[in-house]
Structure 1
Amino acid sequence: MPSFLQVALLLAVVILAAKGAGALSKRLGQPAVFGELLVGILLGPSLLDILHWPVFTDPHYLEQLVRDLAELGVIFLMFLAGLETDLTEMRKVGTAAFFGAVGGVALPFLAGTGVALAFGFPTYESVFIGTILTATSVSITAQTLLELGRLRSREGTTILGSAVIDDVMGIVILSVVVALHQAGLGEGPGTAPGAGAAGIATLLPIVLRMAAFFLAALAVGRWLLPPVLRAAARWPGTEPLFAVALVAGLLMAVAAEELGGVAAITGSYMAGVMLTLHPDLKHHVEERLAVLAYGFFVPIFFVNIGLESDVVAAVAESGAGFLILILAAAVLGKVIGSSLGVRPFGFRWIEALRVGIGMVSRGEVALIVAGIGLQEGVISQPVFSVMVVMTLFTTLVTPVLLRWSFGRAPDSPSGAAAYQPVPGARSGEAD
């Protein structure tokens, strides 16, 4: 079979499997991403090892192609995340949401780093493991709160606000960690001995380089990109505005990594955030990008996570003890950290507990961060596979714990009669 037909066959299997598993997952009351991740693991070396089937004669080429398409999927996914960031709402959620996010970032970071250090991982790899655990994805939480009629409750509003701030904090932490690694400050796999001491002297230039990039990106996104897009809208042809916006997102991703020394997703995320200041452009780009991303690139990204993960080997190599403690750090770090963060602002303990539980799910955000760590050589393959298991576990446990926490409050109204869903709110993961 010619190579292009092998590519066509592989992509057809991957996309169909992802969408079918996602649909089945939602029918079973779980988010689509859970099914997409699970089918990726089934298709990967953990079970079926699809890339090494006899029909595919050049598995190394196909593996690289799928990986590159998955990386583009991450860029588009974070572009969409930026478009969905509500800057106005961030200013309204108040100090409770801010400190809920701070607690939900700080404690998992410290817990994850501490667990990794205790198991003998190098310092830099341990720090990156802690960074992965800071992630939050509340699409699962939002869906559950909608079903419970609690999305507009005090806890629901605080969770959504904290999640937005959590995302921004996570992007900043990831950018700093990646920049330091690229400058030789890391001690992870692939870093030359003694590079850390030499890299410390370059810390100030790294920070200045990152700051310069962020300022330049803000200026471009705020004042240059909107008029360029509006001018492109007048070009003859099909979808010129969307095409130029796509180019802008890709170039911002390239500039972030090559010029700013930060993760590529930082650039595409900022491009999306800047477009939220112009609602007409935002809606035009978001509608079209969602079709392209969720219809093609994002399913490949989620399935590729499984294709690169050998869960059985990961557990055998890293040990069941490490996996169990990482799962505990992932769940308890968010629950305790976010709960303590909001508690001083008039939240009863049960209300604070609900906020903490709502921040537990990691979803696609943790997978993006873990994928960058694997690509940069910061974390090993077994650690990456453990992070996939952690993501699946937190995705599964969050709805169960949320329903339990709302069900045990004696004075709380129950069901949809208590609150009405937000008009136009998105009901969970995009398919």
Structure 2
Amino acid sequence: MSEATTPFLQLALSLAIIIAAAKIGGYLSLRLGQPSVLGELLVGILLGPTLLDLLNRPYFTDTHLPEVIHELAEIGVLLLMFLAGLELHLEDLARSGKISALAGTLGVVFPLALGAGLGLIFGENLTSSLFLGLILAATSVSISAQTLMELNRLRTRVGVSLLGAAVFDDVLVVLSLSIFTAVAVSGSDVGWLSVIMIAVRMLFFLAVSALLGFWLLPRWSYKVDDLPVSQGLIAFTLVMVFLYGWSAEVLGGMAAITGAFLAGLVLTRSPVKDRIQYGVSIVAFGVFVPIFFVDIGLTADLKSLVGGGMFLLAAMLLVAVIGKLLGAGIGAILGGMNRKEALQLGIGMISRGEVGLIVAAVGLNQRLIDQDVFAAVVGVVILTTLITPPMLRAAFRPGAGERSKGKSLDEPGGETDSAVHDEPEITASQEQDTGLEGGES
């Protein structure tokens, strides 16, 4: 092997292509009014086996290269989930109101049930079918938040309830993923006692790591920041992310991403949270998160959807839309919203994004879903991202129902979810500033 084609140089060139292409794709996507994650996904599809098949070109002879890129993408997943946890506030989650709680919870239950039924119809076993439902239960409201901000509706009851419901959705999906994968890996003959033991183990890990984390990590982060160590705070944070991810899987029996998510939650109370977020965002969105989104495209072969796969994609898209409309919509009505507001909130929950892709990637790695289903999931993420903004604009279109658009939280009667009064601006702006929900350009 010549020096020009050593494994390291092949890795260096592939990373240069992937990161540059991801940023260009993200930028073009933003210019077209779409979240940058869409552009990064499309770039991955362009570079992957669907079209160019970059990693199988003659220059890239290292058979371990796709595996190395995939491992780097896994780091991106951990950092992405850490930043997602860092954005949440447990106080907001506890006080965000019954509308958010019911819409978020039923917005998980309905797509999960419909997705599981769909999997059974297409001949998947029960385990794979339930996992398909879990994938379709995930949501991403960054594009919805951006659209509502443009319509000047983000400060309404619908807007803030949507953000609160997304928090419940994310937490339920991440915890369900951990329980599901633990049970699935334990074998098909696992009994109720084993399920209870798995749940107890997880709850014990969550309780201990959360208590110690809330008590120690904010203090330690502040003290480390005072030490004369170059980028000591960011190094400390990354160590905690990786340790929490490792301990969640090894000690808690749950997905590593849950540990990273928990690390973000406990550091929300750090007095240097803003500096942590800024520093980790540079590392994450500068390198690892773009690799993750492009790696999704490198892994998915959309050519497998030709023929019967298109029926699977169409059916999954239908379930993804109807599941959220029914689940989140009914939850909103039960919480006290009128039908128009419930419809608006349900539409806002349709878009899928990074959490769904993360869950799908875990399922593919654990062999809980096959390549055909994975490719269809990528298609659903792209299509729901495209259709949500026009549907949301139509739902808020001025007309006979304009007066029912929902009161601003600053007006009398705009009581719902007032605890998250700072969340809309943060979430919407970081769509472009840090790329937490949609990926950075």
Contact 1:150 1:419 in 2 (8 A): no
Match of 1:211 in 2: 203
Match of 1:426 in 2: 428
Match of 1:277 in 2: 269
* Counterpart amino acid of residue 366 in structure 1: G
User: What fraction of aligned residue pairs are identical, expressed as a percent?
Assistant: 44
- Residues 309-349 of structure 1: CA distance to partner in whole angstroms, max 9, x if unpaired? 00111444x53222211110001100111111111333221
* Counterpart amino acid of residue 268 in structure 1: A
2: CA distance, partners of 1:182 / 1:348: 43
Match of 2:183 in 1: 180
Match of 1:34 in 2: 38
Root-mean-square deviation (CA, aligned residues, Å) is 2.0
2: CA distance, partners of 1:328 / 1:366: 16
Worse-matched range after superposition: 280-289 or 113-122: 280-289
2: CA distance, partners of 1:106 / 1:373: 19
TM-score, normalisation: structure 2: 0.90
1: CA distance, partners of 2:80 / 2:298: 19
1:381 aligns with 2:371: yes
Query: Which residue, 240, 243, 246 being the options, matches 1:248?
Result: 240
1:363 aligns with 2:353: yes
Contact 1:315 1:386 in 2 (8 A): no
2: CA distance, partners of 1:159 / 1:394: 16
Match of 1:352 in 2: 342
Query: Which residue, 16, 25, 29 being the options, matches 1:25?
Result: 29
Displacement of 1:419 in angstroms is 10
Match of 1:136 in 2: 139
Query: Which residue, 59, 63, 83 being the options, matches 1:55?
Result: 59
Match of 1:159 in 2: 162
In structure 2, stretches of 5+ residues that fail to align are 411-421
* Counterpart amino acid of residue 286 in structure 1: Q
TM-score, normalisation: structure 1: 0.92
- Residues 154-185 of structure 1: CA distance to partner in whole angstroms, max 9, x if unpaired? 1101100100111111111111101101211x
1: CA distance, partners of 2:190 / 2:351: 38
* Counterpart amino acid of residue 332 in structure 2: V
Structure-2 change in CA distance of 1:319 and 1:411 (3 Å): closer
2: CA distance, partners of 1:183 / 1:174: 14
Contact 1:315 1:323 in 2 (8 A): no
Contact 1:128 1:373 in 2 (8 A): yes
Query: SS state of the match for residue 123, structure 2?
Result: coil
Query: Which residue, 384, 392, 399 being the options, matches 1:402?
Result: 392
* Counterpart amino acid of residue 22 in structure 1: G
Query: Which residue, 383, 387, 405 being the options, matches 1:393?
Result: 383
* Counterpart amino acid of residue 44 in structure 1: G
Match of 2:287 in 1: 296
- Residues 246-273 of structure 1: CA distance to partner in whole angstroms, max 9, x if unpaired? 1011100001111111100000000101
Structure-2 change in CA distance of 1:166 and 1:425 (3 Å): closer
Contact 2:305 2:313 in 1 (8 A): no
Structure-2 change in CA distance of 1:284 and 1:330 (3 Å): same
2: CA distance, partners of 1:256 / 1:157: 31
Displacement of 1:290 in angstroms is 0.6
- Residues 35-60 of structure 1: CA distance to partner in whole angstroms, max 9, x if unpaired? 110110111000000001122121x2
Contact 2:218 2:269 in 1 (8 A): no
Match of 2:84 in 1: 81
* Counterpart amino acid of residue 397 in structure 2: G
Structure-2 change in CA distance of 1:397 and 1:252 (3 Å): same
Equivalent residue pairs, number: 415
Query: SS state of the match for residue 137, structure 1?
Result: coil
Contact 2:149 2:428 in 1 (8 A): no
Query: SS state of the match for residue 47, structure 1?
Result: coil
Structure-2 change in CA distance of 1:201 and 1:155 (3 Å): closer
* Counterpart amino acid of residue 3 in structure 1: P
Contact 1:21 1:36 in 2 (8 A): yes
Moved over 4 A (4+): 198-201, 418-425
In structure 1, stretches of 5+ residues that fail to align are 185-195
Worse-matched range after superposition: 343-352 or 150-159: 343-352
2: CA distance, partners of 1:346 / 1:307: 44
Worse-matched range after superposition: 148-157 or 84-93: 84-93
Contact 2:309 2:372 in 1 (8 A): no
Query: Which residue, 1, 6, 23 being the options, matches 2:10?
Result: 6
Query: SS state of the match for residue 136, structure 1?
Result: coil
Structure-2 change in CA distance of 1:419 and 1:403 (3 Å): farther
1:169 aligns with 2:172: yes
* Counterpart amino acid of residue 28 in structure 1: L
Match of 1:192 in 2: none
2: CA distance, partners of 1:83 / 1:201: 34
Worse-matched range after superposition: 319-328 or 146-155: 319-328
1:310 aligns with 2:312: no
1:16 aligns with 2:16: no
Query: Which residue, 328, 331, 342 being the options, matches 1:341?
Result: 331
2: CA distance, partners of 1:305 / 1:414: 41
Displacement of 1:204 in angstroms is 2.7
* Counterpart amino acid of residue 395 in structure 1: T
Contact 1:22 1:33 in 2 (8 A): yes
1:105 aligns with 2:108: yes
- Residues 39-91 of structure 1: CA distance to partner in whole angstroms, max 9, x if unpaired? 10111000000001122121x22101110000000000000000011223223
Structure-2 change in CA distance of 1:400 and 1:267 (3 Å): same
Structure-2 change in CA distance of 1:364 and 1:217 (3 Å): same
Query: SS state of the match for residue 410, structure 1?
Result: coil
2: CA distance, partners of 1:41 / 1:409: 40
Query: SS state of the match for residue 116, structure 1?
Result: helix
